[in-house]
Chain A
Amino acid sequence: MMRNRARCPSGECSPASPPRGRLLAGNGYATTFLGALFVALAALLPARSADAVPSYARQTGLACEACHTAFPELTPYGRRFKLNGYTIDNLPQVSGISPTKQETLLLNQLPPLSFMFQTSYTGTKTALPDSVLPKSFAKNGQVLFPQQASLFYAGRIAPNLGAFVQMTYDGTDGEFGWDNTDIRFAKAINENLLLGLSLNNNPTVQDPWNSTPAWQVPFDQRSSVAPTPGAATMIDGGLVGAGVAGLTAYAYLYDSVYAELGGYRSAPAAAQIDSTSTNVVNGVAPYWRIAYEHQWGRHSWEIGAYGVVAKLYPGGGIALSGPANKYSDWALDSQYQYIGDDHIMSVTATYIDEKQSLDATYGAGASTNASDRLKTFRIGASYLYQRRYGAALGYFETTGSSDALLYPAGVPVVGFADGSPNSSGWTGELDWLPYENTKLALQYTKYSKFNGGSSNYDGSGRNASDNDTTYLLFWFNY
């Protein structure tokens, strides 16, 4: 999943939002160039983090395998634990009651804390040119120690209230910051109906399936220093990059039907919202989600849809008033799991379709078209043997309207060919989990198309395949 600051230091994740440089076009070419470069660089840093927390194991007394196939992918039971508000608890408690015997406190005697440490190696097929900018490109063969180190508070807060709160030191930018947060209230009305509320900072971080963007597996972890495609939809990293906070309400019926509705407002980290902010939500961006899960024997299959409608002021130097851009995202997702004693199989897929009405950006002369379209499709399959040895393969593709101003050419590595946001490729991974809470992953990503082209896509002679990435990750949770 993407961290706000790491992925988008400028607060501007999707190049589908107006590049800052273009909005400041009056300041000359250099500003435009640097602005576009900065925006594109921002989109290059998809630091992802993890939902696999030993403090849940400590709190429940359940082994990791109860909730995860291989972390962070959830099992059917893990999904129920999450939907129940992270509250299932088997620890000695500090408790309080009122004279009328109402519970006023129920607190673990030990705090549900966990630590995560990731260290990684990244190599791209062809070394990246020196960017001259700090915190941007990596020289080839970059080791991050740590890539990320996180402290979690993950567990019950009160009888029906639980939390997943992550603070992360990011090795890419060398700073400690706020990461995924999901604080939820849940109540089982009876065995067939569960109701809940979630306060969170990333649309889909609250979702129990691993087919939606925040926790999509496989390849939930990728290099945070290798180039990655520049165009992404709002639901797929754009909003979390801009910084949002949301409240959603959900119902889970008959252990199979899930419905959720809520809204997100802008809440960028360490920033006051004014015209220097970027992609500021106008009012509330409604988020919706519906899913159906069928379980039979050791199999489960989910199919669902989700979406968000976000009216965003591009900001970045222009007042937060007047016309706004409107991004309408709807998406389909599906997840299949087979969980045997020795063999575990998963397939996840999502298709996202975003309609962009760029009233503000087009009005400011920063997009070629008044409206654009951006679509993303991802599918991945993974196999795990005895919860110890794993392999995964997946395909990804983003396509959309060509827009020469939105997807500018002429920037080494991050520029676009013909104003096209199209990218596609394959990722493969081998995993070894010596213990349930440790993972060693070797991943290779092969691009057939990158930012609109296969060869010389950036106009500086770089081919899509030059960005093919070898990534080695050591990941410890304790």
Chain B
Amino acid sequence: MGWTTGPTTMKRLIAIATAVLLVVATRDVPAQQAEHGVPELATGVCSACHGPQGHSISPVFPNLAGQQAGYIVLQLNAFRAHERGDPNARAYMWGMASQLSDATIKSLADYYAAQKPAPGESGDRALIAEGAKIYNQGVEANGVPACAACHGSDAQGKGAFPRLGGQHAEYLIAQLEGFQSGTRANAPIMDNVAHSMTHEQIRAAAAYAASR
């Protein structure tokens, strides 16, 4: 009866499955070698949301590729210390950062800073043009300073000031709204800036910065 032949069939099945897995695995060896030195966390954990090499798909999760290492270190520390408490920071990053050592934080920051930034997001041209003015000159009437003063002329950021170029516009809007509402309260400079901005100005500035 077939019952007695079961284990043989099972062995065959396992052998076939293993062979398939090996073939698939070995096909990707060059990619694996190219990534030698990548923090295992980035490959196995962070990429689930932030995407391979820090290029995320969903605008809920920021692109990390090409982000300033100093900024990443500050944020991971803020998550770990529960100092950054916007809804998604709480839901995802408080847990994720809780066991990170300073050394791991540094290596993750260096890894993502070294990745090629995402290309600028396209968007509504009129909105981007309006945003360009706010980004480069600020809004004098509301007392909004030029974004470029800290985030750089090409939105590349510097040190503690994050790269905004290539970021998801929707993510940037959510951050500015977080600064406004106080849910994200780990950047006093941005609190003041965001409080002076209207919703339209936020949308425009975010669209422009994301397009860089």
Contact = CB atoms under 8 A, between A and B. Distances in A.
Interface of A: 60-63, 65-66, 76-77, 80-81, 84, 88, 90-92, 188-193, 195, 247-249, 251, 253, 255, 259, 261-263, 265, 273, 280, 282-284, 286, 295-298, 311, 320-322, 324, 339, 341
Nearest to A188: B44
Contact of B35 (A62, A91, A190): A190
Contact of A63 (B2, B31, B90): B90
Given A284-B13, A297-B59, A62 B95 contact: yes
Given A282-B2, A321-B1, A191 B57 contact: no
Interface of B: 1-3, 5-6, 9-10, 13-14, 16-18, 20-21, 24-25, 28, 31-32, 35, 38, 42-45, 47-49, 51-53, 57-60, 90-92, 94-99, 170, 174
**Residue from A84, A192, A247, A295 with most neighbouring chain B CB atoms (10 Å):** A192
Contacts of B1: 282, 320-322
A296 B91 CA distance: 21
Contacts, number: 124
Nearest to B96: A90
Given A80-B48, A91-B99, A189-B28, A195 B21 contact: yes
Given A81-B48, A192-B52, A66 B25 contact: no
Contacts of A81: 48
Nearest to A260: B17
Contacts of B21: 195, 249, 251
A221 to B, nearest CB: 25
A263 B174 CA distance: 47
Contact of B96 (A62, A188, A262): A62
Contacts of B9: 263, 283-284
Nearest to A248: B17
Nearest to A195: B21
Contacts of B96: 60-62, 90
Nearest to B8: A283
Given A88-B44, A90-B99, A255-B51, 12 more contacts: A63-B91, A81-B48, A191-B52, A192-B52, A193-B28, A247-B14, A249-B21, A261-B16, A263-B9, A263-B10, A286-B13, A297-B170
A61 B28 contact: no
Contacts of A76: 58
A311 B96 CA distance: 46
Contacts of B17: 248-249, 261-262
Nearest to A196: B21
A61 B91 CA distance: 8
Contacts of A65: 91
Contacts of A249: 14, 17-18, 20-21
A259 B25 CA distance: 13
Contacts of A297: 57-59, 170
Contacts of A253: 24
Q: 4 closest A-B pairs (Cβ-Cβ)?
A: A61-B95, A282-B2, A191-B52, A63-B91
Nearest to A247: B14
A13 B170 CA distance: 49
B111 to A, nearest CB: 11
B72 to A, nearest CB: 18
A84 B48 contact: yes
B152 to A, nearest CB: 26
Given A61-B94, A77-B49, A282 B3 contact: yes
B53 A90 contact: no
A322 to B, nearest CB: 8
Contacts of A265: 6, 10
Given A192-B52, A286-B13, A321-B1, A84 B44 contact: yes
Contacts of A339: 58, 60
B132 to A, nearest CB: 24
Contact of B20 (A91, A191, A261): A261
A191 B56 CA distance: 12
Contacts of A80: 48
Nearest to B61: A77
Contacts of B25: 189, 193, 195
A334 to B, nearest CB: 19
A261 B2 CA distance: 21
B18 A62 contact: no
B180 to A, nearest CB: 15
B49 A62 contact: no
Given A61-B94, A62-B92, A247-B14, A320 B43 contact: no
